[in-house]
Structure 1
Amino acid sequence: MSSTVGMTEPVATTIRAEPLTCTIGAELFDVHLGEVARDDALFAELHALLLKHKVLFLRDQDISRAEHVALAQRFGALEDHPAVGSDPDHPGLVRIYKDLDSPAEHYENAYHCDATWRENPPMGCVLRCVEGPEVGGDTIWVNMAAAYENLPDDVKRRIEGLRARHSIEASFGAALPTQQRHELKDRFPDAEHPVVRTHPETGEKVLFVNAFTTHFVNFHTPENIRCGFDYAPGAGNLLNYLISQAAIPEYQVRWRWTENSVAIWDNRSTQHYAVQDYWPAVRKMERAGIIGDRPF
């Protein structure tokens, strides 16, 4: 089974990077993210490592919220999140605090690419663990470029040119009262994206459907449909098959959080799944999401 890596190599060797799997993820050593936020050369190296490994992990990063935001802003402007509150002193730094009183609609235990219900989903994220359980609460990341690369050729032919809808109403909004759900969709209408996107920096082809994806928008053509009865099982089964690729272990890396550990991921080429196995323990995370481009 082949794997896909980024086309850009690190520009220096200051940061030690140890791969965690054969397909995705590396743990970084000999670097402090506060310094990366202030140093052009260090940031260039970190950026190149991110393109290569798709998600980077660090431990013992006792950085301030200001440093957290400054590092993320190196990649681009930050976004807010309509379902989770931000730190009032640091716009764009979203507090994901989970306990037994957490709202039901704030689930994360599904394979997803952040905010694909936006026309411009995030480019990436910087996530720091503020407080975590003694055991449990891991997060899994998936290399969706490898997932596409290893699809059967006939499936690649079937999905070439397909587009799909992504919905916040059908995910975060599903637990809301009807009026609030409709208001949420008015603010964030369903986005339409290619089923296979091209990474704007590496040129990789990426399988781009996930838990926010509801349906294909251009499947119902004479090439795919003999009669109307073909549409629902044909499109639905294909979409479910594509979404299921994220659950293949060979494409994954799993990270065990500790206080002040950090993950930085490329949201354009990965999905992730936050394992919710830790209650009644508390899990407090802070996330800076970077505004991205429109997938093509």
Structure 2
Amino acid sequence: MRVESLTCAIGAELSGIKLADAIHDDGLFQALRALLVRHKVLFLRGQDITRAQHVAFARRFGALEDHPVAGSDPDHPGLVRIYKSPEQPNDRYENAWHTDATWRVAPPFGCVLRCVECPPTGGDTMWANMVLAYERLPEHIKQQIAGLRARHSIEASFGAAMPIEKRHALRAQFPDAEHPVVRTHPDTGEKILFVNAFATHLSNFHTPDNVRYGQDYAPGAQHLLQYLISQAHVPEYQVRWRWTPGSVAIWDNRSTQHYAVMDYPPCHRKMERAGIIGDVPY
């Protein structure tokens, strides 16, 4: 196996291996898991794997989750089909910096994404290292956010374009989750900046330490939240991957954000993703 770092901040491309072999090869799988924690996102090309093998490999990390809005393959539960076509010009929920499903109480551990079909040009995906984003914050910001928590909402994201009845039903099924603004990586102990496009507001900002008068609350909290969310936009924290059919990305969802660049209409883009159930952030 050859490992080539793609940037100084995040991402490595692997070659000389087949993911299908890691389904049964414990040594290979453990090496991949260690590389994932280190590089945060791994990339491979030319992986001719079936849907069943895709699911079996992802399950080595843990049980898989279904998505309540995106469609899953009926024969392979947990394999979400992210299919874009020229008939869906306004289906744009991916093109925002986000960490998958932080609206869950226990967001995913990570994901395995495989390209089935992609445009000849465009349709890249970008990832950002949110450990580095936290490390490079000014010290006074680190102190200010140390105990803060934020709400994350599926209603305000996936539900926003739904009729009000469906939107409210979605929120009833998945009430807003509250997570620390700075979470701890359970494997490494690293601090991670953990707010993204699903975060709607800071839950515990309105305290005497932060707010002189009530008038301070709205701008103070929202400006801080938007500043924190914008840290994923910094190019020095990012890697960008150009897809080809049969290429695969594996990412640590706890320590990264990603952005699917929607610059390719009117083309087809077909991706299949297996999300691994994670733990409650602390």
Pick from 197, 212, 216 the counterpart of residue 198 of structure 2: 212
In structure 2, the partner of 1:86 is 72
Are 2:36 and 1:55 aligned?
no
In structure 2, the partner of 1:25 is 11
Are 2:109 and 1:123 aligned?
yes
Pick from 251, 261, 279 the counterpart of residue 237 of structure 2: 251
Pick from 130, 136, 150 the counterpart of residue 164 of structure 1: 150
Distance 2:237 2:274 in 1: 25
Give me the identity figure in percent: 71
Distance 2:92 2:79 in 1: 16
In structure 1, the partner of 2:128 is 142
Distance 2:79 2:41 in 1: 19
TM-score by length of 1: 0.94
Distance 1:53 1:73 in 2: 20
In structure 1, the partner of 2:139 is 153
In structure 1, the partner of 2:177 is 191
Distance 1:277 1:99 in 2: 13
What amino acid is the match of 2:94? E
Q: SS state of the match for residue 103, structure 2?
A: coil
TM-fit CA distance, 1:100: 2.6
Query: Deviations for 1:2-27, whole angstroms, at most 9, x for unmatched residues?
Result: xxxxxxxxxxxxx2110000010000
What amino acid is the match of 2:127? W
Name segments (4+ residues, structure 1) moved above 4 Å: 103-106
TM-score by length of 2: 0.99
Distance 1:260 1:107 in 2: 24
Pick from 110, 124, 148 the counterpart of residue 96 of structure 2: 110
In structure 1, the partner of 2:246 is 260
Contact 1:27 1:56 in 2 (8 A): yes
Are 2:161 and 1:180 aligned?
no
Distance 1:148 1:214 in 2: 19
Contact 1:105 1:172 in 2 (8 A): no
Pick from 220, 229, 234 the counterpart of residue 234 of structure 1: 220
1:273-288 matches, within 5 Å, as 273-288=259-274
What amino acid is the match of 2:182? V
Structure 1 gaps, min length 5 = 1-14
Query: Deviations for 1:242-288, whole angstroms, at most 9, x for unmatched residues?
Result: 00000000000000000000000000000000000001010000000
Are 2:208 and 1:222 aligned?
yes
- What CA RMSD, in Å, does the superposition of the two structures yield over aligned residues? 0.9
Distance 2:121 2:226 in 1: 31
> Structure 1 pair 103/277, CA: closer, same or farther in 2 (3 Å)?
closer
Contact 1:54 1:265 in 2 (8 A): yes
Q: SS state of the match for residue 272, structure 2?
A: strand
What amino acid is the match of 2:250? I
